[in-house]
Amino acid sequence: MKAFLNMKQIPGETEQKEETVDMCKAIQEMYDDGVRQGRDELLKEQIQRKLQKKKTSDQIAEELEESVEVIEKIIKEMQ
């Protein structure tokens, strides 16, 4: 209608700003977050089982192929 009347805006019409969202990127970020959360939960479960077996953080780190710092951080968060 605007083009037909050669107008930029029809009187009384509110101007709308359209937000553009890259849906592929948004979906990929959601997927990555889910994978990361799943991995973190699995790591916590594995650490918990190994702690129940009285293993040290050094042993756990070696068995799970993680750094001792990461393992100790997770242990501290779980307490």
Distance CA 66, CA 10 (A): 63
Domain assignment present for residue 44? The answer is yes
7 domain residue, yes or no: no
Residue 9 lies in a domain: no
Q: DSSP assignment, residue 53? A: T
Model confidence pTM above 0.75 = no
Whether residue 18 is contained in a domain is answered as no
Residues 6+ apart with CB under 8 A from 44: 74, 78
Residue 32 lies in a domain: yes
Asked whether residue 50 is domain-assigned, the answer is yes
- Is residue 56 one of the residues assigned to a domain? yes
Domain count, the chain: 1
Contacts of 75 (CB under 8 A, 6+ apart): 47, 51, 57
Rg (CA), the chain: 26
Q: Which residues constitute the domain of residue 66?
A: 25-79
List, for residues 37-62, the tens digit of each pLDDT value. Answer: 999 999 999 999 999 999 999 999 99
The tens digit of pLDDT for each residue in 9-27 reads 666 655 555 566 788 888 9
